[in-house]
Amino acid sequence: MLKVVKQLVISGALVALTFGNAFADEILKPFVLAYKTTGDIQAIADQVKGKIEAAGFDVVGSYSPYDGAIVIAITNDELKKAAASTEFGGYEAGQRVTLTKVGDEIQVSYTNPMYFANAYRIEDTSGPADALKTLESTLGKTEMYGTGDKKLTAKDLRKYHYMFGMEYFDDPSELAEYDSHEEAVAAVEKGLAEGRGGATKVYRIDIPGRDETVFGVALNDSGCSGDKYIMSRVDKAPIRSTGHLPYEILVSDGDVYALYARFRIAISWPNLPMIQSASGATFFNIMCAPNAIEEALINAAGGDI
C-alpha cells in the first residue's frame, strides 16, 4: 500500500509542477502573526471566531491544548476543493487560527495555507492562495514566521524532509486497514470518542468527491506523545507556533494514515536544530515523540501495534 501512496503523491506533485505555481520562487513560512493584543483570551477567541465566520470560513472545532493556548480549526469550500485535487490531500482542508498568551500579550496567528499546500503536494493551489488572502484581510498580517533563517520555496516544500534518512510526505504512518471507507471512519470515530491512546477528536472534515476524511486529533497524554509535552520542548521562540496543533488522522478508502512525526513536526519547525540551541529547543528533546505519537494514533484508529 505504501508504494501505491508514493506513486500517487509523486504523480500529483509532477502535475502541480507542470502547471506551475505562482508561489514557486517565493519564500514561504508556515505561520502568520495577525496581531498582538491584551485582554481575556477566551473573549478575544470569540471575537476572532466571529470575524472568520463572517469571512466565509466554517469553524469545525476548537480546543485548548494547554493553559494560555486556543486553537480554532477552520475550513471552507475552496480549501476542501484543493484537498480533493490530490490523493491524500485531506491534510490541507483544516487550517488553524490560534491565540497564545505570552507574558501579558496575546498573539493571534494563523497557518499559511500556501505553505502547507506545497508541503502536502496539493495540485490545485488556487483555493489555498485565496484562503490566505482572506485571512490576511480579515485578521491582518504583521509578519510571516516559523522557518528562522531557513528559506523554503514551493519547490523545496514539495520534496521536503528534515535530513537524510528521515521521512518525506509520502512516508506516512500506516495506522490501520479496514474493508471500506465507512468502516474505517466509524472505527476512528469510536476510538477518538473513547480516548484511546490519549487521543480525542477536535474536528472532522469529509473531502468532497473522494472517499477521504481528515480528523484533527488532540493528543492528551502527559508523556512523549502529548501536545503539551512536545510544545513545551520545541515551541520557545518569541512568537509561538501553536498552529502546529492539532495532529491529523487521514482516512483514505479503507486505510488509515497519519503523517510520520519526523515529517509532521519538522515541517512546522524546519529550522529547529537537532542537538543544541540557545533556547534549549531541539529535536533531541523530543526523541521519544515520533514512536509514541504513532502508537497513540494506532490505538485511536483501532490498529495493531
Domain CATH number, residue 184? 3.30.310.70
| Domain range for 207 | 2-301
Q: How many of the other CB atoms lie within 10 Å of CB of 238?
A: 9
Taking Cα atoms as reference points, which of 127, 133, 66 lies closest to residue 99? 66
The confidence score (pLDDT) of residue 11 equals: 46
pLDDT exceeds cutoff 80 at 9: no
The C-alpha cell that represents 100 in the structure block:
497564545
CB neighbour burial string for 281-294, b if at least 16 within 10 angstroms, e if fewer: bbbebbeebbebbb
pLDDT over 50 (residue 4)? no
Q: Which string of DSSP letters, residue by residue, matches 28-69?
A: B-SEEEEEEE-S-HHHHHHHHHHHHHHTT-EEEEEE-SSTTE
Write out pLDDT tens, residues 25-81: 899 999 999 999 999 999 999 999 999 999 999 999 999 999 999 999 999 999 999
What was the pLDDT predicted at 263? 97
Q: Which percentage of the chain shows pLDDT scores above 90?
A: 86
Count of domains forming the chain: 1
Q: Is the pLDDT of residue 18 over 60?
A: no
Measured CA to CA, the distance from residue 9 to residue 41 in angstroms comes to 40
What confidence tens digit (pLDDT) does each residue in 169-195 have?
A: 999 999 999 999 999 999 999 999 999
- Amino acid symbol at 27: I
pLDDT at 273: 84
Q: What is the pLDDT of residue 134?
A: 98
Q: Sorting pLDDT into bands at 50, 70 and 90, what band is 22?
A: low
